[in-house]
Amino acid sequence: MARRARPPKDLRDDVRDDVELGDRARVLYGEFYRVVRRIPRGRVLTYGQVAELAGHAGSARAAGAAMRVCKSDTLPWQRVIGKHAGNLGKIAILDPVGGAIQRGLLEDEGVEFSDAGYVRLDLFGWRL
């Protein structure tokens, strides 16, 4: 019988207490969180880039789900934004309060937004 992957011990500190996750989701989310922890202040990644850097290309929605259930005091969640078009990103939080919080946190770090709410990824995107 194949051995099941065990969730990282530190993951329970990153996921909100009110969220139930299976072992596979915990491992996957932990991989996304490791990438997000590395994003420097004043830089952003898209959900797709987080997934790709974690080794799960094509899993942008799963990266978004991981960001929705993370504890905001353990991860720099605000540094992950949605991909728009070309070289632009945009806050993907549909809740206007949550979106305003994310934008404020990013602006405090020096990330600039266009009048339409876009972030230029060539200027503020993180490159390894």
> How do residues 41-77 score in pLDDT, each as one tens digit?
999 999 999 999 999 999 999 999 999 888 778 799 9
pLDDT band at 33 (very low <50, low <70, confident <90, very high): very high
Domains annotated for the chain, with CATH where assigned, are 9-124 (1.10.10.10)
Averaged pLDDT, 88-104: 95
How many CA within 13 A on the CB side of residue 12? Answer: 4
> Does the pLDDT value for residue 11 go beyond 60?
no
pLDDT at 15: 64
Percentage, residues of the chain above pLDDT 90: 67
The rounded distance, in Å, linking the Cα atoms of 20 and 23 is 10
Q: Would you list the DSSP string of 37-94?
A: HHPPTT-BEEHHHHHHHTT-TT-HHHHHHHHHTB-TTTS-GGGEEEE-STTEEE----
Check if the beta carbon of residue 29 is closer than 8 Å to that of residue 69: yes
Using alpha carbons only, give the angle 31, 35, 36 rounded to the nearest 5 degrees. 115
Q: Phi and psi at residue 108, in whole multiples of 5°?
A: -60, -25
pLDDT for the residue 38: 96
Mean pLDDT in residue range 105-117:
97
